[in-house]
Each structure stands twice: as C-alpha cells, then as structure tokens.
Amino acid sequence: MDYILHHFDISPFAEKVRLAFGLKGLAWHSVQIPVVMPKPDLTALTGGYRKTPVLQIGADIYCDTQRIASELERRHPARSLFPQGSKGLCLALANWSDAAFFRPGAGLSMGTNTDLPEAILKDRSAFFSFLDFASLPGELPHLYAQFNAQLQLLETMLVDGRDYLLGTEPSWADILGYFPVWMCRGNIRNGDALLSGFPHVGAWEQKVAALGHGERRELDAAAALAIAREQRSTAETVVLEAAMPGLAAGMEVAVTPEDYGAVPVAGELVRLTHEDIAVRRTDPRAGEVVVHFPRSGYRVEKTA
Ligand SMILES: N[C@@H](CCC(=O)N[C@@H](CS)C(=O)NCC(=O)O)C(=O)O
C-alpha cells in the first residue's frame, strides 16, 4: 500500500496524520505542498479542496484528518487508532479539539507572531473565517484564556497518572488532544511558558511525540500526479437514501466543508453513508480520481 501525504511540515493538522503513521508503524511518501494558495498540484487531485493535509492512495484522494484516520484504520487495523471499541468516542472528540482547542490556538499563532510573512497573514485572514484579524490584538487575552481552559481539561484527563487519554494504549484521542499542544510549542509566543503550568500534560506530550512519524520518504508532486493517472480508484459504490434523501449514485453533486475553506468539489456521487462521501471526477493532470470526505461537517448538494 503506497500512502502519499500532501502536507507541509509546520501544519498542525498534518502532524495528526504523521503521528497516526507513527502509531501504526507505517511507511509513507511525503509531498510538500505550498503553505498558501495557489496549490495547483494539490487541487488537481482534490478538485478544489485546499486544506492541509490530504492523503492519496493511488487514485483515491482522502480529504480531512477524520476521513484519513478512518481510512488508515480500515486498510491497516493493526495497532489500532481506536483501541477497545473507542472509534465513536475518538471521532466525536474532534469537535472539541478542532473547534474549542485549535481555533484559539490558531488565533494566538496568528496574533502573537509578529514576524509572520505578509503572504501567510493575507491568505489566512481570508481562510480562517472564524477569526477577525482586525480585532485580533485586543482578543489575545480571551484567546489565551480559551486555550488555557482546554489545557486544563487535558490536565484533568491525565491527573490520575495514566499514560494516555484512554488508559494504557495510545489512540486517535491522544493525537487529537496533542496537536494544539504541538502547535503551541512551535507557533505561539510564550508557548513553553504556557505549557509549564500543566505538568501531567507535559509528561504525556513526550509519550505522544515518541510515537514518531513512521518511515517517511520524500516524493515530488509530479510523481504523485502520475501515480493518480496510472491507477484506478478502489472505492466501492454505496449510496444510502438515509444519508441524504433524493441523491443517488452517479448524480452530479458538489461537496463543501461547512466551516472555513468552503470551496465546493464537484463530481459524480460514488459514496454517501453516515460516515463518508465520495465523488468521481476527471482532471486533465490527475486523470480519473475519487475524492473522499467525512459525512460529518460536509454539505452535499445536487448540481445538475
Ligand atoms: N477539518 C480539516 C481541517 C484542516 C485545516 O484546517 N488545516 C489547516 C492547516 S493546519 C489549513 O488547511 N490551513 C490552510 C492551508 O493549508 O492552506 C481536517 O481535519 O483536515
């Protein structure tokens, strides 16, 4: 199985997937994508989705870390991301870590780093629709308070001295709790001082970091596009009426994230279940690909 992760090194969401490779002990190829738009090689694969990261497996393109985690687990169940039947709990926890935890962290990364390149500030002020960049300086105390409140929750989860959030085994829950902490160390001014107030978080952070990133090899974007062109999708067609009444396999639809970066991806419906969505599309550079999304947090609409 050739896993190809399209990402950039300072991306906190990409760090989730790199750690999932580490937890599972997998080998993967790394394609570096631009930090800001345009990202022509990435959007040739995705049909417009621009967020980081994206996982490619042949001609199947997986968008969103939730969808990527489920797919890694399906294809490689050993060393589970969801031990002891914790899949539902782990996936549900993303609403906490992506919203309550990541968002104030993103505000602090943008608002406390005075030397951020202009191109990043410009791109992200349009992209992060949950942040008002004009009022950011005055919002910093509130954002610190919100970020601290989530660190306190993590400390509470770990205060009995357990190794990992769910007990003795590492899981996707640890990766979800960890990625804003990783962002804090790397991207938030005074991040180390902020974290020093949470000793159990500090000890656990080292265990999660020690999961590592698996075995990484670099690949260039042209080679990844050639792989997409040469291979066929392995997606099985399943469209459930209950996942959105009125839609059927083969219909032309658009899939759009409900939060920020809401670029629609158009294609022919291949999968629609309570867990996932997939559309088939043909691109001059990527050939025929199937682009996959989680069901939760994505809107599907008929276009023709
Ligand atoms: N729901 C998405 C969110 C991904 C996300 O927001 N990623 C950030 C980077 S860490 C991003 O896309 N930033 C803008 C960019 O990379 O162009 C997921 O779980 O993958």
Helix, strand, coil shares, percent, the chain, to 5: 45, 20, 35
What is the CATH number that goes with domain 87-209?
1.20.1050.10
- Which residues 6+ apart lie within 8 Å of 147 measured at CB? 101, 104, 105, 108, 180, 184, 188, 194
**Mapping DSSP to helix (H, G, I), strand (E, B) and coil, where does residue 214 land?**
coil
pLDDT recorded at residue 114: 78
Q: Is the CB of 16 under 6 A from ligand 1?
A: no
> pTM for the complete prediction?
0.98
Name the DSSP class of 211: T
pLDDT recorded at residue 113: 87
* Residue with CA at minimum distance from ligand 1 atom 18: 64
Burial of 264 (0-12, 13-18, 19+ CB in 10 A): middle
Name the DSSP class of 237: P
- Reading the chain (304 residues) residue by residue, the pLDDT tens digits are 699 999 999 999 999 999 999 999 999 999 999 999 999 999 999 999 999 999 999 999 999 999 999 999 999 999 999 999 999 999 999 999 999 999 999 999 999 987 889 999 999 999 999 999 999 999 999 999 999 999 999 999 999 999 999 999 999 999 999 999 999 999 999 999 999 999 999 999 999 999 999 999 999 999 999 999 999 999 999 999 999 999 999 999 999 999 999 999 999 999 999 999 999 999 999 999 999 999 999 999 999 8
Beta strand 215-218 with 27-32 is parallel
pLDDT recorded at residue 1: 64
Which of 37, 52, 259 for mutating ligand 1's site (highest number of atoms within 8 Å of CB)? 52
**Where along the chain do the CATH 3.40.30.110 domains lie?**
4-79+216-302
pLDDT recorded at residue 304: 86
**Where along the chain do the CATH 1.20.1050.10 domains lie?**
87-209
pLDDT recorded at residue 211: 98
- Which residues 6+ apart lie within 8 Å of 160 measured at CB? none
CATH architecture of 4-79+216-302: 3-Layer(aba) Sandwich (3.40)
Q: Which helix (H) or strand (E) holds 60?
A: strand 60-63
101: its two tokens: 């935890």
Cis status, amide bond into 284, omega within 30 of 0 = no
Q: Is the CB of 65 under 6 A from ligand 1?
A: yes
Q: Is the CB of 52 under 6 A from ligand 1?
A: yes
Q: Tokens 């979800």 map to which residue?
A: 176
Name the DSSP class of 281: E
pLDDT recorded at residue 252: 98
